[in-house]
């Protein structure tokens, strides 16, 4: 199901990419930006905390802007008229032309798929959890090497509640944590399940807002005290709220099955040899 939703998102992005920046009249859209962010993070962009995502976004936009400016400078320098450019262009077009044709064909086949309201509702009822916003938590932590020190900090924190607890936690994080988040009071920003090591994740996703772990959490990095700021996402959304996403996902599910059958027929009729 997750693969279906990813495919639906990618197919829909061709027509829905918004502009994020403009360089001398040339637009940079969300699709371009996302591709570069994925390259920078080796496909792990979605798993990053919010603060890191913003940093990656800035770096990616700067890279794209630099590339556009270099391209414009190359045009002004007349590079397109050189033999080297013409030969490289010929090779590149020969490589991407078949791929472009394949992508357009895939999209045209996808657009032919029609689904009924009854089928959409059934698909939604069977996959409600997949259409809920992914649950994320906003947490702080204190990381120390020694268990005794961690227990001492836990004792201090567990005696407090409310604003006093948060203020003390931030103070102790700045003074004791050996993590890079120390100077921001241990702030890790928002992150989803799967972004942290299992021991840390299990503890933080079981916590209540405004609470601290009653005892240190041991991981491969040391001993953590965790404070939960807030949670978001995870709530089921009504059919009417997510109908467009449901339609894309169901069409993608059908498309994958039809494409698989089509590929099996094509392979059966093709002459394929392996070296």
Residue 11 clears pLDDT 70, i.e. is over it = no
Q: Give the pLDDT of residue 1.
A: 55
Residue 125 and residue 212 share a domain: no
The two tokens of residue 33 are 């930006």
pLDDT, one tens digit per residue, over 168-180 is: 999 999 999 999 9
Residue 163 and residue 138 share a domain: yes
Residue 122 and residue 171 share a domain: no
Residue 139 and residue 125 share a domain: no
In a domain, 82, yes or no: no
In a domain, 78, yes or no: no
Residue 214 clears pLDDT 90, i.e. is over it = yes
Residue 211 and residue 247 share a domain: no
Q: Give the pLDDT of residue 43.
A: 82
In a domain, 179, yes or no: yes
Share of the chain above pLDDT 90, in %: 69
CATH number at residue 145: 3.10.50.40
pLDDT, one tens digit per residue, over 154-166 is: 999 999 999 999 9
pLDDT, one tens digit per residue, over 125-136 is: 999 888 888 889
Residue 13 clears pLDDT 50, i.e. is over it = no
Residue 141 and residue 223 share a domain: yes
Phi-psi region of 190 (alpha: psi -120 to 50; beta: other; left: phi over 0): beta
Q: Give the pLDDT of residue 6.
A: 44
Query: Which comes out higher in pLDDT, residue 96 or 236?
Result: 96
In a domain, 101, yes or no: no
**Structural domains of the chain, count:** 2
In a domain, 32, yes or no: no
In a domain, 250, yes or no: yes
Query: Which comes out higher in pLDDT, residue 24 or 6?
Result: 24
Residue 225 and residue 138 share a domain: yes
In a domain, 175, yes or no: yes
Host domain of residue 210 = 134-232
Residue 215 and residue 182 share a domain: yes
- Where is average pLDDT lowest: 22-26, 41-45, 46-50, 119-123? 46-50
Q: Give the pLDDT of residue 16.
A: 54
pLDDT, one tens digit per residue, over 219-228 is: 999 999 999 9
Q: Give the pLDDT of residue 275.
A: 83
Residue 179 and residue 165 share a domain: yes
Residue 168 and residue 246 share a domain: no
Share of the chain above pLDDT 70, in %: 94
Residue 12 clears pLDDT 60, i.e. is over it = no
Residue 257 and residue 225 share a domain: no
Residue 205 and residue 154 share a domain: yes
Q: Give the pLDDT of residue 17.
A: 63
In a domain, 259, yes or no: yes
Q: Give the pLDDT of residue 133.
A: 81
Query: Which comes out higher in pLDDT, residue 51 or 186?
Result: 186
């Amino acid at each position: 199901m997750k693969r279906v939703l990813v495919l639906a998102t990618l197919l829909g992005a061709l027509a829905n990419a918004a502009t994020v920046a403009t360089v001398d009249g040339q637009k940079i859209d969300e699709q371009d930006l996302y591709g570069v962010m994925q390259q920078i993070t080796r496909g792990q962009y979605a798993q990053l905390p919010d603060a890191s995502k913003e940093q990656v976004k800035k770096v990616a936009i700067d890279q794209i802007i630099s590339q556009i400016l270099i391209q414009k400078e190359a045009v002004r320098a007349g590079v397109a008229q050189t033999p080297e450019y013409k030969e490289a262009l010929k090779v590149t077009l020969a490589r991407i032309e078949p791929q472009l044709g394949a992508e357009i064909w895939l999209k045209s086949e996808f657009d032919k798929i029609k689904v009924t309201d009854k089928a959409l509702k059934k698909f939604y009822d069977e996959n409600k959890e997949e259409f809920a916003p992914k649950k994320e938590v906003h947490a702080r932590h204190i990381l120390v090497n020694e268990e005794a020190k961690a227990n001492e900090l836990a004792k201090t924190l567990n005696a407090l509640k409310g604003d006093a607890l948060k203020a003390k936690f931030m103070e102790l994080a700045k003074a004791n944590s050996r993590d890079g988040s120390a100077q921001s009071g241990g702030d890790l920003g928002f992150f989803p399940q799967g972004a942290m090591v299992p021991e840390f994740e299990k503890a933080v996703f079981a916590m209540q807002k405004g609470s601290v772990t009653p005892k240190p959490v041991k991981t491969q990095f040391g001993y953590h005290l965790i404070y939960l700021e807030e949670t978001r996402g995870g709530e089921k959304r009504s059919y009417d709220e997510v109908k467009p996403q449901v339609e894309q996902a169901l069409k993608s599910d059908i498309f994958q099955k039809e494409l698989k059958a089509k590929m099996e027929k094509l392979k059966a009729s093709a002459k394929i040899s392996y070296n």
